[in-house]
Amino acid sequence: MRRLAGGKSRECNRRTPTASKAARRAVQAVRRRRHGRRRFLIESRRMIVCVRQLTLWRLAIPMRRAFEHATASRSQAEPLVVQAELSNGAVGFGETHPRPYVSGESTDSAIADIRDRLAPHISTVRGTCFPEALEAIDALPLTLEHARACTAARAGVELALIDAFARGFGRPIDEVAGWLGLPGLGTTDGLPKVRFSGVIGGDDPARVMSSVRKMRCFGLRDFKLKVGDANDDSRLRAALSALGERSLRLGRRTLRLDANGGWSLEDARRRLADWAGLPVVSVEQPLPRGTESEWHRLRAVSPVGLMADESLVTPGDAEILLRHRVCDGFNIRLSKNGGLMPALRLAGLGKRHGIAIQLGCMVGETSILSAVGRWFLSMVPGVRFAEGSFGRFLLRDDLIRPAIRFGYGGGWTAPRGPGWGIQVDAAALERLSETRPIRLRM
C-alpha cells in the first residue's frame, strides 16, 4: 500500500462521502437556526404595533366636600377614563374631564367625538418604535368641524395611547419632550422644584379661614382663592388675615385669585382698583372667554398680572393672547388643552414669550392625571405654580393604591415608569363606573 508523507495511507486520510455530507448538513442546519433566531429578534423589534381596542369608562367618585367657584359647584368627580389596548398586549390609561364652561365639551359629547370622529384617526396610530407612534398620536386633531374644540376628548385618548406605547416599546415617558424638540424643555433634575398649591373654593369667609389654617398646618406656601361673586371682598380679607399680610409681602407665602370668568370688565376694574396694594400675585381668567378683546383695557389698569385659563384652550387661542399681549401667565391644564404634547407645546411657546407657566388641574382628578401632571412638571423647568395631586384629600376613592397626592409643604417626587408609573386597579374601575364601559374595536 502506498503511503503518504506522514506515514498514513491515502485511504485512511479520506472521509467517506456519506459522513462528509451529513456533517455539512448538520453545520448548515445550525447556521439556519441561528440566522432564524437573529432574524426573528430583528423582525420582532420592527414589528408594527397598532391599537386593538379602546374602552371608555364613565366614572362617578364622591368628593369629601363640595367645591364651588363662580361658574360651577361640584360634590362628585366625573372623570372619563380611556383604556387603550395594543396589538402586542400593552395596555395604557388616560383621563379627561370635559366641562361645557371650559372647552365647550360634555362627557356625552366627548364620548361621541371619540367614537365617531377620533376613531378613524386612532385606527391609523401605529409604529415599529416609540417615536413613530408619537408622530401618529401627535396628529390627532384638537378641533373638529367649524373649529369646534375636542381637546378634552383628545386628551383622554392621547394620554392612554402614550402610556400604552411607552409600555409596549419599553421607553421612558420623558422621551416625549425630546421627540418634540422644543428648546428649554427636558429633564428638570437638579433644578428647584415648584410646590403644589392649596386651592380655596368659593366659600363663606369663616370656611375660607378654616381651610387656609388647615393648609398652613400641612406646610403649604402657595394659595389660590376663588372669587367672582358678591362675597369677593369679605372672602379675600379672610384669606389675607389667615395667611398673614406680612408673610405675603415678604414672599414667604403667595396668594393668587381666580375669577373663572365671573366678572364683567367694569366689575374687574372696580375690584382690582379696590384691592390695589394688597399682596396678591395675579388674577386668573378675570373676564369670560370670548371677551379677549377687552383684556388689554383691563391689563392697562390692573395692579396685578393677568393669567389666562378658559381663554386658553387651543394653540390658536395662545397665538391670539400673545399677539395682543393681554396676559402675563398661562394656566395649562392637561384635560383642557388636549393632553401632554399640546400642553408641552403651550409651555414652550409661553416660555419663549416670557409668560409665566402654571400647571392647573380639573376638580376631581384621579391619580392618573396626577401622575401625568408630575411628568409635565419633570419636563418643564421653571413652572411658577402647580395645582393638582390632591388624591384622597379631595376624593373618597381613587383608581390607584395608594392614591397619588402631594406631601408636606406641597412637595412631590418625580414618577418612574413603565408608562405613567402607575397601576390602575381594575376592580376600582368596575366599582366606580357609572355605566357599562363602551368598547371600541379599532
pLDDT recorded at residue 80: 99
Q: Name every residue whose Cβ is closer than 8 Å to that of residue 364 and which is 6 or more positions away in sequence.
A: 61, 63, 74, 76, 77, 78, 79, 97, 394, 395
Could you give the CA distance from residue 420 to residue 398 in angstroms, rounded to a whole number?
16
User: What DSSP designation does 21 have?
Assistant: H
Burial of 130 (0-12, 13-18, 19+ CB in 10 A): buried
Residue 44 carries which side chain, given as an amino acid letter? S
Same-domain check for residues 293 and 172: no
> Which residue has cell 371677551?
291
Q: Please, where are the H alpha helices in 250-358? A: 265-274, 295-299, 315-324, 340-352
Q: Name every residue whose Cβ is closer than 8 Å to that of residue 153 and which is 6 or more positions away in sequence.
A: 96, 98, 105, 109, 110, 111, 113, 114, 118
pLDDT recorded at residue 174: 93
Whether residue 35 is contained in a domain is answered as no
Spans of the chain, pLDDT less than 70? 1-19, 29-46, 70, 190
pLDDT recorded at residue 30: 67
**DSSP labels, 138-163:** HTS-SB-GGG-B-HHHHHHHHHHHHH
Whether residue 423 is contained in a domain is answered as no
Whether residue 191 is contained in a domain is answered as yes
Whether residue 379 is contained in a domain is answered as yes
Which of 117, 149, 178 is the last residue before a domain boundary?
178
Same-domain check for residues 248 and 328: yes
Same-domain check for residues 200 and 302: yes
Same-domain check for residues 114 and 75: yes
pLDDT recorded at residue 275: 97
Whether residue 111 is contained in a domain is answered as yes
Contact 280, 256 (CB under 8 A): yes
Could you give the CA distance from residue 331 to residue 384 in angstroms, rounded to a whole number?
10
- Which CATH number is 111's domain given? 3.30.390.10
pLDDT recorded at residue 17: 55
74 half-sphere exposure, CB direction, 13 A CA radius: 22
Whether residue 304 is contained in a domain is answered as yes
- DSSP E strand stretches across 15-60: 49-58
Structural element, H or E, at residue 371 = helix 367-379
Q: What is the 3-state secondary structure (H, E, C) of 62-81?
A: EEEEEEEECCEEEEEECCEE
14 half-sphere exposure, CB direction, 13 A CA radius: 7
Same-domain check for residues 194 and 319: yes
| Grid cell of 4 as nine digits | 503518504
Which of 127, 151, 178 is the last residue before a domain boundary?
178
Same-domain check for residues 195 and 275: yes
Q: Which of 415, 392, 396, 418 is nearest to 405 (CA)?
A: 392
- DSSP E strand stretches across 183-342: 198-200, 222-226, 254-258, 282-284, 305-308, 329-332
Same-domain check for residues 109 and 205: no
pLDDT recorded at residue 25: 74
pLDDT recorded at residue 187: 79
- Secondary structure class of 402 (helix, strand, coil): coil
Whether residue 42 is contained in a domain is answered as no
Which of 132, 151, 178 is the last residue before a domain boundary?
178
Same-domain check for residues 326 and 399: yes
Same-domain check for residues 301 and 397: yes
Same-domain check for residues 188 and 168: no
Whether residue 294 is contained in a domain is answered as yes
Contact 135, 162 (CB under 8 A): no
- Which CATH number is 245's domain given? 3.20.20.120
pLDDT recorded at residue 7: 47
Residue 388 carries which side chain, given as an amino acid letter? G
Q: Which long-range contacts (CB under 8 A, 24 or more apart) does 267-270 make?
A: 268/298, 268/302, 269/298, 269/301
Q: Please, where are the H alpha helices in 232-304? A: 232-243, 245-249, 265-274, 295-299
Could you give the CA distance from residue 332 to residue 274 in angstroms, rounded to a whole number?
29
Same-domain check for residues 256 and 394: yes
pLDDT recorded at residue 36: 56
pLDDT recorded at residue 6: 46
Could you give the CA distance from residue 208 to residue 206 in angstroms, rounded to a whole number?
5
Residue 321 carries which side chain, given as an amino acid letter? L
Range of the domain at 291: 183-418
Q: Which long-range contacts (CB under 8 A, 24 or more apart) does 211-218 make?
A: 212/238, 212/239, 212/242, 212/243, 213/242, 216/242, 216/243, 218/408, 218/409
pLDDT recorded at residue 164: 99
Same-domain check for residues 315 and 376: yes
Overall domain count for the chain:
2
